[in-house]
Amino acid sequence: MNKFEYAPAPESRSVVKIQKDYDLFIGGKFVSANSNKRFTTINPATEEILSKVSLANGKDVDRAVKAARTALNKTWAKTKPKERAKYLYRIARILQERAREFAVLESLDNGKPIRESRDVDIPLAAAHFFYHAGWADKLEYAGFGDRPRPHGVVGQIIPWNFPLLMLSWKIAPALATGNTVVLKPAETTPLTALLFAEVCQQAELPDGVVNIITGDGSTGAALVNHKDIDKVAFTGSTEVGKLIACSIAERGIPATLELGGKGANIVFDDAPIDEAVEGIVNGIFFNQGHVCCAGSRLLLQENIADEFLIRLKDRMTKIRVGDPLDKNTDLGAINSSAQLAKIKEISDSGDKEGATLWSAPCSLPAKGFWYPPTIFTGVTQAHRIAREEIFGPVLSILTFRTPREAIEKANNTPYGLSAGIWTEKGSKILWAAQQLKAGVIWANTFNKFDPASPFGGYKESGWGREGGRHGLGAYLKIGKGAK
Amino acid sequence: MRLDVKKTYKLFIGGAFPRSESGRSYEIKNKRGQFIANPAQASRKDLRDAVLAAKNAHPGWSGATAFNRGQILYRIAEMLEGRTSQFVDEIVATTGVTSSVAKQEVSAAIDRWVWYAGWCDKITSVSGNNNPIAGPYYNFTIPESLGVIGIVAEEKDSLIGLVRSLAPIIAGGNTSVLIASQSRPLAAVTLAEVLATSDLPAGVVNILTGIKTELAPWLASHMEIDGLDLSGIDSIAELRVSGAENLKRIHTFEKDVSPERILAFMEYKTIWHPVGI
């Protein structure tokens, strides 16, 4: 079948007004940074400078933590749970009202296709606030004892792959459980968090309950190391997660860590092949593969591998790569030049170590950061591309003969975030789901998210869960600590 | 006069009772400074053997039915009950408390085993759930055992302190390597004899006696250990740093008995499947 040619259908940018520069959001107001420094944030699809944002230093972090502490003591702890709920409902509604604006801004700053920011990121972000709003006045029924208490001030650091969605995963449960927050968005994607600050103002959220400080790694380190935070929540690399675990060792404060992954997507020979191909494509090329739970290792049962690869390659030639704001685009821009360099470096190692690279034929824009949908065949478990998180549109394909071998290979990683199972046989699904050491298991589907569904990893993929009833526990003092 | 036949206090690894491979032992004295015993002083190699035994025992123990695990924990209580007087004697000898105080401790330890035996087939019901997600999917979350848990047992309460930590950890399907109270290790070794006769598979619990400050850092840095209960050691910041290398789940507890002690060493797994025809 020939590829359909689509006329460009760009989403309008006019819905978004980006300021020339941004201050920090502390104590309910935008205030200039003590550091007097700013850094640029660009559109990774064009390298156009979008804005300049403030670089928060240690003093700025201190101001933000103080504002959060004051808000906790003076207003938020005294706000009735049912009123706390209503603030969160307001935020959810405003996010829905301004959804298109957020979606366009997210695609501009992050490089992800508008189809995904519009249909996944922003609706899910709003849903997270709506879901957690309802918990605020029902916490004593959540199974954490009859007097669950908030930790206090929470320091939160989020990544660049799902900027507003990760913000909502962090802020919604923290606020619902009565904590106040200082949140640092990622260096390359600060704009939707700053727009969210405006949403807090529109919702009349009490000053200081949410503080948003932009910056780089040094800002994040200052936040984690601040003596007056009661909990840390971090989503990002396993490497940084381990550093955070070390830096809070002395204080012993709790942490939620959502870290890396090297998810195995297992296709058994009795799988529904067309659905599986679609699921594998979604599993690795969704959001340019910038997904911690991506199905970045495909495990194919040997007797169907050849046939499957033909169909997979055929499907990959139909992936449309290009302008993130084009409504037809499937695969957008790589988020930064640094990330692109990392993807290239690990892919090169695959080549050097003897795996076979194949990229879907597609023309990439001249400006910006781009990488074509790519697979490696002939991959062994020792290859770097089978062990390390690439965090890009690169799939490593291995084969197996027996179900036990599949499980053995799938679990042969220090990570344990996600896994996929493709088979029509119900008992095999449940057996494989039992054996797999992963926090989220998708059977005959992949990369599905919901505020009611707990998310988080086994082993070195992190500590704790976010979302669902279980995610609430991470923001409450329960059982073991509280007498 | 008949001379007592005294027991050699050895380690408990993989269901066997070896001496330390290092050939070391250390002296235990009572409050009046009189000699009681020379328990084994475990080495790093002993600890690694214990971890291997625990690792190998994990698939079987975590894969056993919850009902079966509950029966075995209850069996531990039965065996402990039958040995009450032996534990009372050892607690009296090492701590100098009266036998009625020691008896209370043993009774409490037995009751803890019974309490956690009952939890084995209930913890999933009270901590797992279906998740009402917005789409045509069936979605549920269940707790699973973490793997191998290292325990540094409480120093003072040689029997009850150990049971407080150990019972919830194995109730949840984990296997364990436990470092006994350094100054009062006798109850731990005798508990091993109870465990060995309770149908508990070899390697589910491994008990080391020796110097805590020597052994605990190896426990914290071992890459095959998934979690740590550090209730029995004071300075844990450095152990947390070592444990960060593979992001061990590290806990200390204030509450004596709580289902949170079980759940702290369990991991939630969420499973999705489409619904359709």
**Among all residues of chain B, which has the CA nearest to that of A259?**
B247
Say yes or no for a CB contact (<8 Å) between B131 and A439. Answer: no
What pLDDT score was predicted for residue A481? 42
pLDDT beyond 90 at A361: yes
Asked if A69 and A114 sit in the same domain, the reply is yes
ipTM comes to 0.96
Chain B residues closer than 8 Å to A453 by CB: 131, 133, 139, 141, 270, 272
Other C-beta atoms closer than 10 Å to the C-beta of A194 total 24
- Cα gap A37→A19, rounded to integer Å: 16
- Arithmetic mean of pLDDT over chain A: 96
**Which pLDDT score, from 0 to 100, does residue B21 have?**
98
For residue A357, give every residue at least 6 positions away whose Cβ sits within 8 Å of its Cβ, in sequence order, or none. A347, A350, A351, A374, A375, A376
Which residues of chain B neighbour A455 with C-beta distances below 8 Å?
A: 270
CB–CB of B141 and A143 under 8 A?
Answer: no
Nearest by Cα to A390 from A294, A282, A265: A294
Q: What is the pLDDT of residues A369-398, one digit of tens each?
A: 999 999 999 999 999 999 999 999 999 999
- In the residue annotation, A258 being an active-site residue is answered as yes
- Domain-embedded: residue A5: no
pLDDT at A285 over 50: yes
Look at residue A7 and tell me if it is in a domain.
no
With CB atoms and an 8 Å threshold, state whether B261 touches A480. Answer: yes
The whole-angstrom distance between A465's CA and the closest CA on chain B is 8
Q: Are residues A330 and A193 in the same domain?
A: no
Among A11, A106, A116, A292, the active-site one is A292
Residues A463 and A417 in one domain: no
- The residue length of chain B stands at 277
Q: To the nearest whole percent, how much of chain A has pLDDT over 70?
A: 98
Q: How confident is the model at residue A482, as a pLDDT?
A: 37
Residue ranges making up the domain that contains A63: 21-259+459-477
Backbone torsion region of residue A36, taken as left when φ is above 0, otherwise alpha when ψ lies between -120 and 50, otherwise beta: left
- Residue ranges of domains in chain B: 36-274
Give A480's pLDDT tier (boundaries 50, 70, 90): very low
A405-428 pLDDT, tens digit per residue, is 999 999 999 999 999 999 999 999
CB contact under 8 A, B139 and A452: yes
Residue A99 lies in a domain: yes
Smallest CA–CA distance, residue A387 to chain B, in Å, is 15
Report the number of secondary-structure helices (H) and strands (E) in chain A.
Answer: 16, 20
Same-domain pairing of A217 and A313: no
The pTM of the full predicted model, rounded to 2 decimals, is 0.96
Query: Residue A23: pLDDT band by 50, 70, 90 thresholds?
Result: very high
Please give the average per-residue pLDDT across A304-314, as a whole number.
98
Check CB contact under 8 Å for B132 and A452: yes
CATH number of the domain at A354, please.
3.40.309.10
Percentage of residues in chain B having pLDDT higher than 70: 100
**Is a pLDDT exceeding 90 seen at residue A332?**
yes
How many contacts does A have with B, using Cβ atoms within 8 A? Answer: 116
Do B226 and A448 count as a contact with CB atoms less than 8 A apart?
no
pLDDT at A2 over 80: no
Token digits of residue A333 = 């821009």
Three-state helix/strand/coil letters over B64-82: CCHHHHHHHHHHHHHHHHH
The pLDDT assigned to A4 comes to: 66
CB contact at 8 A, A21 and A194: no
First to last CA, chain B: 84
Which of A116, A187, A258, A389 is catalytic? The answer is A258
Question: A147 pLDDT band (50/70/90 cuts)?
Answer: confident
Condensed to tens digits (0 to 9), the pLDDT of residues B6-48 reads 999 999 999 999 999 999 999 999 989 999 999 999 999 999 9
Per CB-CB distance under 8 Å, the chain A contacts of B255 are 479-480, 483
When pLDDT is averaged across residues B226-253 and rounded to a whole number, the result is 96
A256 to chain B: which residues are within 8 Å by CB? none
Q: With a cut of 60, say whether residue A483 has pLDDT above it.
A: no
Fold of B36-274: Aldehyde Dehydrogenase; Chain A, domain 1 (3.40.605)
CATH number of the structural domain spanning residue A233? 3.40.605.10
Chain A: which residues have CB within 8 Å of chain B?
A: 127, 143, 238, 241-242, 245-246, 249-250, 252, 257, 259, 414, 429, 433, 438-445, 448, 450, 452-456, 458-460, 462-463, 465, 468-470, 478-483
The pLDDT tens digits for B55-106 are 999 999 999 999 999 999 999 999 999 999 999 999 999 999 999 999 999 9
- Output the pLDDT for position A216: 98
Taking 70 as the threshold, does the pLDDT of residue B121 lie above it? yes
User: Does residue A175 fall inside a structural domain?
Assistant: yes
- A318 in the same domain as A276: yes
- Evaluate if residue A329 carries a pLDDT over 90: yes
Same domain, A221 and A321: no
Identity of residue B89: D
3-state SS, residue A171: helix
What is the domain count for chain A?
2
The two tokens of residue B96 are 């100098």
CB spacing of A483 vs B264 below 8 angstroms: no
Which of A259, A429, A458 is facing B267, going by the closest CB pair?
Answer: A458
Same domain membership, residue A280 and residue A406: yes
